[in-house]
Structure 1
């Protein structure tokens, strides 16, 4: 009888211990966050299944579509953990936007947000390289038009070519220098593209001012003046040694040079919510290649915190 009692007590202890252990495991198991994925011709949407705290709209660089953004800027996991919907646009190859393109893009974004029942109280738009140009221009356009109700609360750019006049002049230098094949090919294309559309800035700088984010030589910011009360982040990695070694480029040929000048100009004009964020040795492509002109210069956790700060 005594032996039976001992066995029953031991069994009770083991059962209670296992049950408690199981409960403890259940308590520390992290909550599982899920995304609903929607793949369309023009965009990809990753939508949290629970309450959506913000909507992040991203535009890639000149050749990038949604799959490239996902590869180079691994933001989806941290966005999912923070209940942030992410729209990855396939729109690219835009150094400026014509009026009809702004109208079409704004309508498209509003349709995406409406049809997918996304909130409109905390929309953030950002992009890498030329995608940053699109982000600033379309944000300024949306805020300036009463027909749209998707005003962004924040905009950010990642090492974007914001000054078209500077691009033209830098391309002339690169052709004359004849140092790097990638630089020569890009500069040849830029001179042809900008020249055919706007002419030589020496003769027609107003045409450049009408389209560019910033014309530093005349301190013109007319295309983003409606963003004065919008929070703005300007990311760049001013690695002068890398650009000198790989492209023989001077500091005043780098996007970083004009991004800093834009920041200074905006601050003098009362843009109190603008941040200039220079980085060091963060620029790497997904394949491991060192390149300061990369999505990777953005600290993703810090960006998410900024997105969620209203």
Structure 2
């Protein structure tokens, strides 16, 4: 796989850090002094691979791995959402790795996540191997994909995936390509056109072509493929609690980006399909959670953000999944 080129897409370039108080101290643990394949950028320590860790307030019950969005600094996760603080207060060891320059989980990303989890397990052996995963935007796609890998390799892997969630993730990369092409063809917004061009170049360079040219490669790296009856890799999560969150505020995007945008240009349609696909396979714990008016960034309306997740309620759900 070739590495991701440039800052990727449309929405992700709009993100910046929100401010929130941290209830627990955050430790930075270095994993590797260099980043030879450019899987992390924009953080305070870009060029190194590491993870940020928040210790549990009491005896550890499990591990929560949170993945940042594309080009979002790992340390920013602790400011953009209260999920880490709420989880730590509830007994989770929270780890946020420096992985923010991929839409797809390649060998370098998989290796870093494995190294992070192994170090956390050594530091907190009493936490067991109970793992919950979550991620925002591109990080949500990676969280779902990594959960699928761990479940598929459960004979070899010792981690037990208890739950996984994605916050407005582009889970179907073939669909993301098609949306990028529509943005270019529609030529409604310079930002969307540049984002579409970046998407097509990034995925085309990485995968060797379009979804029509190399469909098997898109299925291999997507957490979900709608054209497959079982969702492609998604079938691995048929017995795992899964949540996807989104806030499809069409009025916001039509006002700020393009008046002719449609619901199909957002992640919401794909995420509904993802949950429907899991439910058809018998997963009664797959949930699509749609919010209204919760998306905020620096106090301003922004529907593509961590803030659409009700952190206390989400952590309560994770605790329930942990106890099953």
* TM-score of the two chains, using structure 1 as the length reference: 0.82
**Which stretches in structure 2 are left out of the alignment for 5+ residues?**
1-22, 31-49
Retained in 2: the 8 A contact 1:239–1:292?
yes
Retained in 2: the 8 A contact 1:165–1:201?
yes
**Which stretches in structure 1 are left out of the alignment for 5+ residues?**
1-33
What is the aligned partner in structure 2 of residue 288 from structure 1?
A: 299
Matching of residues 35-74 of structure 1 within 5 Å: 35=24, 37-41=26-30, 42-48=50-56, 50-74=58-82
Deviations 1:72-126 (A, max 9, x none): 1123432343232211221112211124642552243223222333512532110
* 2:170 is the alignment partner of 1:181: no
CA spacing shift, 1:144–1:204, aligned 2, 3 Å: closer
* SS in structure 1 at match of 2:110: helix
What is the aligned partner in structure 2 of residue 153 from structure 1?
A: 162
- How big is the shift at 1:219? 4.0
- How big is the shift at 1:299? 0.4
Higher relative contact order (CA 8 A, sep 6+): 2
Retained in 2: the 8 A contact 1:243–1:250?
no
Retained in 1: the 8 A contact 2:65–2:132?
yes
In 2: Cα distance, 1:151 partner to 1:182 partner: 41
* SS in structure 2 at match of 1:135: helix
Matching of residues 230-309 of structure 1 within 5 Å: 230-248=240-258, 249-285=261-297, 287-309=298-320
What is the aligned partner in structure 1 of residue 11 from structure 2?
A: none
- How big is the shift at 1:140? 1.4
| Larger displacement relative to structure 2 (45-54 or 158-167) | 45-54
* SS in structure 2 at match of 1:152: strand
CA spacing shift, 1:82–1:143, aligned 2, 3 Å: same
Retained in 2: the 8 A contact 1:92–1:131?
yes
* SS in structure 1 at match of 2:175: helix
* 2:110 is the alignment partner of 1:93: no
Retained in 1: the 8 A contact 2:237–2:278?
no
Retained in 1: the 8 A contact 2:69–2:136?
yes
- How big is the shift at 1:130? 0.7
What is the aligned partner in structure 2 of residue 109 from structure 1?
A: 117
| Larger displacement relative to structure 2 (119-128 or 150-159) | 119-128
Matching of residues 4-23 of structure 1 within 5 Å: none
In 2: Cα distance, 1:181 partner to 1:195 partner: 21
| Larger displacement relative to structure 2 (143-152 or 298-307) | 143-152
* 2:141 is the alignment partner of 1:141: no
Deviations 1:257-283 (A, max 9, x none): 100111111111222221111111111
Retained in 2: the 8 A contact 1:123–1:152?
yes
* SS in structure 1 at match of 2:282: coil
Deviations 1:112-160 (A, max 9, x none): 2223335125321100001111111111112222332122200000000
The alignment's C-alpha RMSD in Å is: 2.0
| Larger displacement relative to structure 2 (177-186 or 161-170) | 177-186
* 2:232 is the alignment partner of 1:222: yes
